[in-house]
Structure 1
Amino acid sequence: MTDQNIQDSILKKGYFYLNEGDFDIHLFHEGSYYKSYEFLGAHYITRLDIEAVRFVVWSPNATAIHLMGDFNDWDETQFPMQRIKGSSLWQICIPGVQMFDRYKYRITATDGQILYKADPYAFHAEERPETASKFYDLKGYIWHDSEWLKSREASDDYNRPISIYEVNLLSWRKKHDGKQYSYHDLAQELIPYVKEMNFTHIELMPIMEHPYDGSWGYQITGYYAPTSRFGTPKDFMYFVDTCHQNGIGVILDWVPGHYCKDAHGLYHFDGGSVFESHDYDKAHNDEWGTANFDYGKPEVKSFLISNLLYWHDYYHVDGIRIDAVAYMLYLNFGGKLLKNKYGGFENLEAVDFIKQMNEIVFKYYPNTLMMAEESTAWPMVSWPTASGGLGFNYKWNMGWMNDILEYMQLDPVFRSGFHKALTFTMTYAFSENFVLPLSHDEVVHGKKSLLEKMPGTYHEKFSNLKLLYAYMYAHPGKKLLFMGSEFGQFIEWNEWQALDWHLLNYDSHKNVQTFLKDLNGFYKTEACLYGVDTSYDGYEWIEVDNSKESIISFERIDADGHKLLAIFNFTPVGRNAHPIGVTQEGTYEVVLNSNSERYGGSSPSQKKNYQTENEPAFNRPYSIRIELPGLSAVYIKLKEEATHERR
């Protein structure tokens, strides 16, 4: 439109159209518009000194679209959108739209059906159960995290401590009247707690807008909208900003595999297959009752890859955990018998998408975290695409998680027969860059809480749990623990209620919390546990095959050659003079003992020292003989090195 036409249209109709954005449109349809959120959706524009909002939506099958909302009393025909020439995008520009004005697209399908859809690119939405989008301008928030961002740019993620606290914001804690916390409330209470507990990162279960609390956020309707359950988008910016000011990184769960079928969402967006495949079997995830994204559509690629950059651009997030990658990679995951054009079960379009996605994200944000929850044996998940990998920089170690939880649930009498569960993990520990996850998936749906999984008496359950955590933190790989596990939540996680914080009135639970806090703090300052975390140069077995006593020990080694000895006794039988082979003479000091009185155990809290003997053990020239309590873990260092580390 010319300026005169725009002016005439505004005066006569109250809206106008723009003939611009050809390059943006081309990139979007090509699948390479990686910041499509700057064009699609609702954005302020100024023409002829008139401020308006331009709405742009992708709808390839619609015969007509009308915009309706608070700004026109929800009139269904007043504001007809116009298909942009040569594309499947529709647009309209409307003066007078206010912040927080609600709106929807009224879409006429080819069969005449009328659909009322939320904006796929909306930055804000009504709080459930309402379903409209809200106009929201993201600009204007003043960040205070420049120091954090500078330090992030200079970091080496592979060889630094990463200890993640996984959180469901709705059920972490509630107010006395049962109401949910806001983003501001969480900033004031959750962040100080995470900092006190010495975690390095918070991982948020999906906070993108979703209609049903019981989905935990994994069935999304608004990929670009932080859920309004807790406040506005700028409130969420404040939360992330406060995390960064307190030295805590923020990782978001992200769900690019599937989306829910709620009427206002992405499914059958204009009556046809838009975000999902035209092939019914490919489009439907019967196991979850959801729809799958079609990665072969370039516009879907633009939508999803842009979404990753959006959360980095506007919310300064530090990483993304990608949910259910196996469901993306395999056509037959979930029981279907689909095959690709070569006769295999791999989803070739998904593989190409994942590689492109990771390449683009790391191009813009080379120091971010891209963590895959991938539960199969797909090779090189966390290898660069240039080396034939999928391009993530981390993968959840589901094998380790399954083995150690199966082992720990055994009565110690039977653990000797399953010793391989402790040792097999090291045959593949460096095949990928791993995160060791004890996540929400392990404490729901009848699996029992981590504490309740532990066998034995009441006291032995807590001893086993501390032993599990000590083993986890000594094992190569980054750490992730679901909320409540740090103080020994007894019952399974229930998304409808807060954690059982009253348990901290009991010594056993308080002791576990103190142990986890100290363990995190030790991990953050002990370079042996993270300094060489991606190769066998940082790990060496000492005692590997003592299945009879269910004892293992190994060394973790930092880049300067300093060593930390980690010894584990998985039976209740204490060993008063257990030999440990060492390579250096001197005095060795216990630097952490899960059985310490400080944590409710029987060992004195003061540091214990051991002098080397000229007796070889485990193919090492010297040895020490240590007190190794039942169901306990002991970390030991050469005293000169331990003293040096503390200075």
Structure 2
Amino acid sequence: MTLERLTHLDFEGFNQGADARAYEKLGSHFIDGGVSFAVWAPEAERVSVIGDFNGWRADASPLHRVGDTGVWHGVVTGAHPGQTYKYRIVSRHQARVLEKADPYAFLQEVPPKTASVLTRPTYAWRDEIWMKGRQDWQALVAPISIYELHLGSWKRVPEEGFRSLNYREIAPQLAEYVKKMGFTHVELMPVMEHPFFGSWGYLVTGYFAPSHRYGTPEDFMFLVDTLHQNGIGVILDWVPAHFPTDAHGLAEFDGSHLYEHADPRQGYHPEWNSYIFNYSRNEVRSFLLSSAMFWLDRYHVDGLRVDGVASMLNLDYARKAGEWIPNEHGGRENLHAISFLKMLNETIYRNHPGAQTMAEESTAFPLVSKPTSIGGLGFGLKWDMGWMNDTLEYMHRDPLYRSHHHRDITFRSIYAYSENFLMPLSHDEVVYGKGSLLRKMPGDEWQRFANLRLLFSYMWSQPGKKLLFMGGEFGQWNEWNHDGTLDWHLLDLPMHGKLARLVGSLNHLYKTEPSLHRKDTEQGGFEWIDGSNATMSILTYQRRAEDDRDVMLVALNFTPTPRHGYRIGVPRSGSWREVLNSDAKEFGGSGHGNMGAVETRPIPWNGRRFSINVTLPPLGAIFLKPET
């Protein structure tokens, strides 16, 4: 392939829907003697490039058809990095004239400007150690604890107009903080260019461009590289479910419904006021496939959290009867989206075996995180939205009434291994009047903190990978505001600082104890000791790695009443050491505990030969490990 003379053969895979690296041909690329421009616009009558390099004159740099591929191509001399450009498209449809940003551009202007920017990113990566070991560190048997954040509001600079940190400024600060807190990964809410800041990045116009708000592509590479050098993985939120209607974007790109369905019952998203990709169109599949691969190929990212999977899978998502079109078999499943997602996951895992894909899927669609070879969608992990909803509903209740809703906190055990689950407490739970995690908790201030410590202890002790949105780790009182910043001063207050210390301790325990992560997604990693004590709102269970020699006993008291002399059956005799107590004074608790360890007695209990007598702290959790 030579970009100077692209032929129809170069776009064979693209037209067949199987090109995972279409970004190497389409878009703008510096070559000897100029810049190669290529754009897919099959319904165009004429296409030209307009930009700083030709005075934005309409016909100064015409492009030419590449056979019957629908692609227009040409080479422009005299252009250089930093210059802006668009495609001027004269459509066959009513001779409409459109000026469009480059769908494959590696950089876009800072919004509200909308042009694409010529760039040829180069960067000397220094993350060899991370990349070499990634496949082991991101395996399903490894601990994965994710810190989700929004780059624009994690931290700001009040001395400079309250601006957001740029990629290079945030890199060392984020790496130091995440490392201190013990998280294994960060998940960045969409960094792909988006015109409306208030969309949080979920209305994407630049599927190959990191947001210019925070710097250049090289600056974003520096951020990823810095995190990797500190042993922290990077997951990007990626949005293939819909795109905005902005005139400079993909909508009616060549005067026709090119990327979206023409029929609004298939092509318009009523909930998000956006367009839905036409997954049946081969070139659209190549576009999305290439976007996903691009971030893995060029930016060394370690995984993609795929947004809005439920809306992709279901033709009737957010629609009433008569507002959607059934598939060819009369069903509600979007068969083209299903086949695309399977191809997406197969392609990613084949080319980047150390990566992970994660589905934000809120329905009971089967086999989301199971291999495509057995009919699954092929994702590595699925968000456990059911656990999130049930648990937050339960924790919001006054402890006096929790005994009547015990099933909310135990139901997960029925399906915990039906998928490879990731347990999310994400940004969606702390916006739009839902209140912060701390404010969701009932009781006075002390009880709110105790309940939140208990929630985190429950979450970190359950089978499944973990995700926590920024601010939750130190008990942000306010809802998240994308135009603001986290209330970092709270860390100087005792209860907030001690809550953060608990989260750090939970992460450390999760990472260092195989019993808490080795079988997060395998049967046998969880076993009830007693999940039926609704009267006292107490749960006891054990996590296991391989056998009874590598086990962690967890007991949780969801009431503010301490339980002294509470007997628990255990799988082996000897001393059981209290390795973490959420009620410890160092975490802001009352200090109820078990003096470091308890001894078994030969008293059968809970169907086991031995048992221990423990103190269960109020609104607290204890983790006990047998001494070797």
| TM-score normalised according to structure 1 size | 0.94
What's 2:588 paired with? 600
What's 1:53 paired with? 35
Preserved CA contact (<8 Å) 2:138 2:355? no
Give the aligned residue type for 1:462: F
Residue 474 (structure 1) aligned with residue 461 (structure 2): yes
Counterpart of 1:79 in 2: which secondary structure? coil
What's 2:271 paired with? 287
Cα distance, 1:606–1:629 mapped onto 2, change above 3 Å: closer
Counterpart of 2:208 in 1: which secondary structure? strand
Equivalent of residue 126 in structure 1, options 109, 132, 135: 109
Give the superposition deviation at 1:518. Answer: 1.1
Give the superposition deviation at 1:604. Answer: 6.8
Give the aligned residue type for 1:589: R
Structure 2 distance, partners of 1:153, 1:404, is 32
Q: Deviations over 1:549-583 (max 9, x none)?
A: 00001000112541100000000010111111112
Q: Deviations over 1:296-346 (max 9, x none)?
A: 000001100111111011000000000010100011001133211111111
Q: What pairs with 1:71-150 in structure 2 (closer than 5 Å)?
A: 71-110=53-92, 111-138=94-121, 140-150=122-132
Structure 1 distance, partners of 2:230, 2:66, is 47
What's 1:537 paired with? 524
Preserved CA contact (<8 Å) 1:597 1:605? no
Structure 1 distance, partners of 2:83, 2:572, is 71
Counterpart of 1:251 in 2: which secondary structure? strand
Give the superposition deviation at 1:21. Answer: 3.6
Equivalent of residue 306 in structure 2, options 322, 327, 340: 322
Give the superposition deviation at 1:605. Answer: 8.6
Q: Deviations over 1:336-362 (max 9, x none)?
A: 332111111111111111111111111
Preserved CA contact (<8 Å) 1:589 1:607? no
Preserved CA contact (<8 Å) 2:138 2:356? no
Residue 37 (structure 1) aligned with residue 2 (structure 2): no
Give the superposition deviation at 1:607. Answer: 5.3
Give the aligned residue type for 1:278: A
Preserved CA contact (<8 Å) 1:24 1:33? no
Give the superposition deviation at 1:134. Answer: 0.4
Q: What pairs with 1:422-461 in structure 2 (closer than 5 Å)?
A: 422-461=409-448
Structure 2 distance, partners of 1:156, 1:524, is 12
Equivalent of residue 395 in structure 1, options 382, 395, 408: 382
Cα distance, 1:315–1:605 mapped onto 2, change above 3 Å: farther
Counterpart of 2:157 in 1: which secondary structure? coil
> Alignment length, in residue pairs?
620
Give the aligned residue type for 1:316: H
Identical aligned pairs, as a percentage?
47
Cα distance, 1:560–1:97 mapped onto 2, change above 3 Å: farther
Preserved CA contact (<8 Å) 2:66 2:73? yes
Residue 371 (structure 1) aligned with residue 354 (structure 2): no
Give the aligned residue type for 1:495: H
What's 1:550 paired with? 537
What's 1:611 paired with? 599
What's 2:626 paired with? 638
What's 1:503 paired with? 490
Give the superposition deviation at 1:606. Answer: 9.1
Structure 1 distance, partners of 2:575, 2:622, is 16
Structure 2 distance, partners of 1:338, 1:469, is 43
Gaps of 5+ in 1: 4-16, 641-647
> Greater shift after overlay, 442-451 or 337-346?
337-346
Residue 187 (structure 1) aligned with residue 137 (structure 2): no
Preserved CA contact (<8 Å) 2:136 2:142? no
Give the aligned residue type for 1:224: F
Q: RMSD of the TM alignment (CA)?
A: 1.4
Equivalent of residue 239 in structure 1, options 223, 244, 252: 223
Give the superposition deviation at 1:176. Answer: 2.0
Structure 2 distance, partners of 1:610, 1:421, is 30
What's 1:411 paired with? 398
Structure 2 distance, partners of 1:599, 1:102, is 53
Preserved CA contact (<8 Å) 2:239 2:307? yes
Give the aligned residue type for 2:167: Y
Preserved CA contact (<8 Å) 1:203 1:252? yes
Counterpart of 2:154 in 1: which secondary structure? coil
- Please identify runs of 4+ aligned residues in structure 1 that moved more than 6 A: none
Give the superposition deviation at 1:23. Answer: 2.4
Give the superposition deviation at 1:261. Answer: 0.6
Counterpart of 1:141 in 2: which secondary structure? coil
Preserved CA contact (<8 Å) 2:20 2:286? yes
Give the superposition deviation at 1:41. Answer: 0.4
Give the superposition deviation at 1:235. Answer: 0.5
Cα distance, 1:210–1:256 mapped onto 2, change above 3 Å: same
Give the aligned residue type for 1:573: T
Preserved CA contact (<8 Å) 2:593 2:617? no
Equivalent of residue 251 in structure 1, options 235, 252, 256: 235
Structure 1 distance, partners of 2:194, 2:484, is 18
Counterpart of 1:124 in 2: which secondary structure? coil
Q: Deviations over 1:379-428 (max 9, x none)?
A: 00000000110111100001111110000000001000000111110000
Preserved CA contact (<8 Å) 1:598 1:605? no
What's 2:135 paired with? 153
Residue 175 (structure 1) aligned with residue 162 (structure 2): no
> Greater shift after overlay, 68-77 or 31-40?
68-77
Cα distance, 1:26–1:212 mapped onto 2, change above 3 Å: same
Preserved CA contact (<8 Å) 1:467 1:568? yes
Give the superposition deviation at 1:505. Answer: 2.3
> Greater shift after overlay, 156-165 or 245-254?
156-165
What's 1:9 paired with? none
Give the superposition deviation at 1:71. Answer: 0.6
Preserved CA contact (<8 Å) 2:551 2:625? yes
Equivalent of residue 481 in structure 2, options 468, 486, 494: 494
Q: What pairs with 1:296-335 in structure 2 (closer than 5 Å)?
A: 296-335=280-319
Preserved CA contact (<8 Å) 1:404 1:422? yes
Give the aligned residue type for 1:255: V
Structure 2 distance, partners of 1:104, 1:374, is 36
Structure 1 distance, partners of 2:49, 2:263, is 30
What's 1:12 paired with? none
What's 1:337 paired with? 324
> Greater shift after overlay, 596-605 or 501-510?
596-605
Give the aligned residue type for 2:265: D
Counterpart of 1:171 in 2: which secondary structure? helix
Give the aligned residue type for 1:324: G
> Greater shift after overlay, 474-483 or 598-607?
598-607
Counterpart of 1:361 in 2: which secondary structure? helix
| TM-score normalised according to structure 2 size | 0.97
Counterpart of 1:468 in 2: which secondary structure? helix
Gaps of 5+ in 2: none
What's 2:10 paired with? 24
> Greater shift after overlay, 359-368 or 475-484?
359-368
Structure 1 distance, partners of 2:544, 2:236, is 31
Give the superposition deviation at 1:22. Answer: 3.0
Preserved CA contact (<8 Å) 1:122 1:224? yes
Preserved CA contact (<8 Å) 1:527 1:558? yes
Structure 1 distance, partners of 2:246, 2:593, is 57
Give the superposition deviation at 1:113. Answer: 1.8
What's 1:577 paired with? 565
Give the aligned residue type for 1:64: R
> Greater shift after overlay, 626-635 or 91-100?
91-100
Structure 2 distance, partners of 1:21, 1:560, is 61
Counterpart of 1:346 in 2: which secondary structure? coil
Give the aligned residue type for 1:161: P
Give the superposition deviation at 1:279. Answer: 2.2
Q: Deviations over 1:435-472 (max 9, x none)?
A: 00000001111111110000001100000000000000
